[in-house]
Amino acid sequence: MSTQTSRVWLITGSSTGLGRALTEAVLKRGEIVVATARQPQQLAELETQYPRQIITLRLDVTKPDEVQKAVNQAIATFGHIDILVNNAGYGMMGAIEEISDTDVRQQFETNFFGVLNVIRAVLPYLRHQRSGHILNLSSVCGFVSNAAGGIYCSTKFALEGLSEALAKEVASLGIKVTIVEPGAFRTDFTGRSLSLSNQCISDYGNSSAEIIKLLKQIDGKQLGNPIKAAEAMIQVINSDSPPLRLVLGSDAVAMIENKLTAMRTELEAWKPVAMHTAFDEAKVAF
C-alpha cells in the first residue's frame, strides 16, 4: 500500500448506516479509510478483510481530545487526509415543547458541535496540502423542517449554514465542501438510532405524534439504498465540479422542490412589502 498514491478517507460514524456503506465502498475501490466509531469493534470484520487499507479508531465526536487524537493518529499512519466525511449523528424526535434541555443540548453537541470539532482538527492539514474534500452529512431535514423534527432539523440547518460559509472560506485553498442531504434510506436511523422525547403532550397528537408514527412504520421499508448512496458520494468526490449540495433520494428531491416552489410563491406575494422598507430617499441596489 502506498500512501503517496492512495486517497485517505477519514469517516466518522463508520460502523452503521450510510457511514458503514461508504466505508465498505471505498475499501472495495482499493482506497484507504480511517474508520471511526464509538464502538470500533463493530468494524473488526473489515479490518480482517482489508488489513492494509483500514485503521479503526474509537471516537466520540463530542470529545475534542478524542477528535484530535484520532486525527493525529491518521496523519501519523498515512501522512495525509484527502477526504473528511462527517457522518456521525442521530435523530431526536418529539415536539419542541416536549424535548428536555438536556436532550436538546446533546443533539447539538453531536450533530453540530461534533462536526465542528472534527472540521477544526482536520482543516490545518488540508490547508497545508492545499487540497481536500469535506462531505458533511446533513439531511433533507436540513432544508425542509417538519413537526417532531424541530430540534433535529435545527442541528442540520445549523450544519448547512456552517458548511456554506466554510465552502466560501476554503475554496481558494483548493478545498471543496459538499453538503449531503439524504431522504429516507434503509438504515437504522428510524430504528435503533432514533431517540424520542419522554414526554407526550396530547395537543401534539395530530402533528408531531403522527410524524413519529410514520417514521416507525417506514423503518426497514425505506426506498433508499445505502449502497447506491455511497456510490453517489464517491461520484461527487471524483467530480471536477462537485455540487455544494448533493440531494439523495426521490423523496428528498420532491420535498425540496415543493419547498422551493412554496418559497418562490410566498416571496412574490410579499415582494411589494419587502421592497418598501427602505428610507424614502434611498435607492434600491441590485
Looking at the domain assignment, is residue 19 inside a domain? yes
Number of domains in the chain: 1
Structure confidence by residue, pLDDT tens digits, 43-73:
999 999 999 999 999 999 999 999 999 999 9
CB atoms within 10 A of CB 123: 19
User: What integer pLDDT is reported at residue 285 of this predicted model?
Assistant: 56
Q: Would you call 202 a catalytic residue per the annotation?
A: no
Catalytic entry in 152, 154, 176, 197: 152
Report the CATH number that the domain containing residue 230 is assigned in CATH. Answer: 3.40.50.720
Looking at the domain assignment, is residue 249 inside a domain? yes
Beta strands at 91-93 and 54-58: parallel, antiparallel or unpaired: unpaired
Q: Would you call 176 a catalytic residue per the annotation?
A: no
Catalytic entry in 154, 156, 176, 197: 156
Catalytic entry in 138, 139, 163, 197: 138
Looking at the domain assignment, is residue 285 inside a domain? no
Q: Would you call 156 a catalytic residue per the annotation?
A: yes
pTM above 0.85, yes or no: yes
User: What integer pLDDT is reported at residue 5 of this predicted model?
Assistant: 60
Looking at the domain assignment, is residue 283 inside a domain? no
| 187, 16 Cβ separation under 8 angstroms | yes
Question: What is the domain extent for residue 257?
Answer: 8-274
User: What integer pLDDT is reported at residue 1 of this predicted model?
Assistant: 36
Q: Which of 168, 3, 159 is nearest to 74 (CA)?
A: 3
Mean pLDDT score, 201-224: 88
Mean pLDDT score, 191-211: 85
Lookup: cell for 74: 491518521
- Give CA–CA dist 73/59, Å, rounded: 12
Looking at the domain assignment, is residue 105 inside a domain? yes
DSSP notation for 227-265: HHHHHHHHHHHH-SS--SEEEESHHHHHHHHHHHHHHHH
With pLDDT > 70 as the criterion, what percentage of the chain qualifies? Answer: 97
Looking at the domain assignment, is residue 242 inside a domain? yes
Name the 3-class secondary structure at 270: helix
Looking at the domain assignment, is residue 3 inside a domain? no
Looking at the domain assignment, is residue 176 inside a domain? yes
With pLDDT > 90 as the criterion, what percentage of the chain qualifies? Answer: 84
